[in-house]
Amino acid sequence: MSEPVAPADDKLKETIEDKLYLVKYKPDKQSHIEVIQEVFKADKLKVVLYICPAKVYTLNEETGECLVNHENCLECGTCAIAAPEYVKWRYPRGGFGVQYKLG
Ligand code: SF4
């Protein structure tokens, strides 16, 4: 019987930025993500700031609004499930968005 194989050390040291570098995008000027700011501001948990693997959502500390960097979206759909009351997410228009994922 063979021994279980542990992941290589350098694989464990990869940051999210390292992994995002392996994704090829064709960005669309038109965002496929809309945040209803009033509902976001009223939400105490603001889960989208923590659950997005691509860090698409950030908080504007001055206004309290949610900033959306839609060009980095990995199209995983997590935000649409976690915060449907204020995130209106759909796939990017045809031909845009994630083109290729390596790894
Ligand atoms: S679909 Fe996934 S990657 Fe895209 S914004 Fe939502 S959580 Fe982030």
Q: Read off the pLDDT of residues 42-61 as tens digits, 9 standing for 90 and up.
A: 999 999 999 999 999 999 99
Q: Is residue 37 within 6 Å of ligand 1 at its C-beta?
A: no
Based on DSSP, count helices (H) and strands (E) in the chain, helices before strands.
5, 6
pLDDT at res. 1: 57
Q: Which residue has the higher pLDDT, 4 or 63?
A: 63
Q: State both tokens at 39.
A: 């509902």
Nearest CA residue ID for atom 6, ligand 1:
79
Out of 3.30.930.10, 3.30.559.10, 3.30.70.260, 3.30.70.20, select the CATH number for domain 32-92.
Answer: 3.30.70.20
pLDDT at res. 4: 67
Q: Which strand (E) or helix (H) includes residue 53?
A: none
CA distance 73 to 83: 16
Name the H helices within 21-93.
37-42, 48-51, 78-82
Q: Is residue 73 within 6 Å of ligand 1 at its C-beta?
A: yes
- 0.85 surpassed by pTM: no
pLDDT at res. 17: 82
Q: Ligand 1, from 46, 55, 70, 79: best to mutate by most atoms within 8 Å of Cβ?
A: 79
* Cα 2 to chain centroid, rounded: 38
pLDDT at res. 89: 97
Number of C-beta neighbours around residue 68 at 10 A: 21
